Amino acid sequence: MRLYPQRKPVDMVAPPPWPAPLQLDASYAVCRSISRAAARNFYYAFLALPREKRDAICAVYAFMRHADDISDQPGVSADERRGKLADWLNRLRRVTTGEEATDDPVLLAVADAQRRYDLPIKLLEELVAGTAMDLEETAGDTGGARSLGQTGAAGLTARYRTFSELYDYCYHVASVVGLVCIRIFGYRDPAAEPLAERCGIAFQLTNIIRDVHEDAAMGRVYLPQEDIERFQCNLAVLSSTAAPEVLATHFRPLLQYESQRACEFYASAEELLPLIDEDSRPALWVLVTIYRRLLEKIAARNCDVFTQRVRLTMAEKLRVLAKGLWLRLV
């Protein structure tokens, strides 16, 4: 049985023409710059990786970041953005197969990472599909995110009826990232894959809980409709001018429930950690610890994510990183 993943020697798989080493180095430098500027929590984990793996992760992040930027492009219709996303993915396919030469540093770097770490194109396709799931619905357009259930005073609706539907969204926008990451980290036991998927769900649930107020301001409610009804929450309160303490009290039971659900998914990280290559474990530990501590901060505030945005300070992240780097040395 083939053990996964095995890093492929570049000279055996890279179709000609392939960029010169200096061009490839410059391409990875661009991706590192993009990641440093935009990755926030993720970038601290990247720093705990060996250089080649860090470059590959940064390349994938920059590829995904460009897809996100297309999805969020203002003043462009949803259909046009979907077309641009399809073109971005098709360009990657052509570059990885040698059908197209390119000077785009992100495409050059991610294509190199794809070959080096045997990244399935299907996962990169799912990354792009995930970025498209937040595109607004337009008249006659059924390809965007669903808007179902209870309607608030300003037209707020729950996008997903059940947690199963929300899970599918979280899988595409977060779990797929985890599945790509562990292929770069390295692992041999296939049990790592479902564990990485569950870790991605934990991260995205944490984001949803933290950002519930900000998302509502953009007309997005990711909490499942079945849970909203279970805790008798009224979405009209989110779209009102209610004081933060009123919002916190109203949504606290619901957010506590979702926080507990996220905690259960975080348990997978403990099982995943020993399954990936030793030189990558500190990076995974840093990433999980940063996100888990964010959820702990939310819990410590009694799930009040309305008074102010809950975040880890740079000092807190650096302390986690320092411990992760220490783990790499011992």
Q: Round to whole Å and give the CA distance between 302 and 109.
A: 43
Rg, Å, the chain Cα set: 21
pTM of the model: 0.86
Residue 130 in contact with residue 176, Cβ under 8 Å? yes
Place of tokens 């779209």: 239
pLDDT per residue over 43-91, tens digit each? 888 889 999 999 999 999 999 999 999 988 888 888 999 999 999 999 9
What's the confidence (pLDDT) of residue 271?
96
- pLDDT tens-digit series, residues 276-313: 999 999 999 999 999 999 999 999 999 999 999 999 99
Taken in order of first residue, the domains within the chain and their CATH numbers are 19-141 (1.10.600.10), 146-330 (1.10.600.10)
C-alpha span between 261 and 184 (Å, rounded): 28
Nearest to 282 by CA among 102, 95, 107, 46: 46
Read off the DSSP letter of residue 273: G
pLDDT averaged over consecutive 10-residue blocks of the chain (330 residues)? 43 55 92 89 87 95 93 87 93 89 93 94 91 62 39 70 96 95 96 97 97 91 96 89 92 98 96 96 94 96 94 92 81
Q: How many residues does the chain have?
A: 330
pLDDT at 224: 97
pLDDT at 324: 86
Cα–Cα distance list, 121 to 19, 140, 170, 178, 326 (Å)? 20, 30, 19, 15, 34
pLDDT of residue 13: 44
Q: For position 136, what pLDDT does the model report?
A: 55
Structure tokens at 156: 């707020």
Distance, in Å, from the CA atom of 149 to the CA atom of 298, rounded to the nearest integer, reads: 27
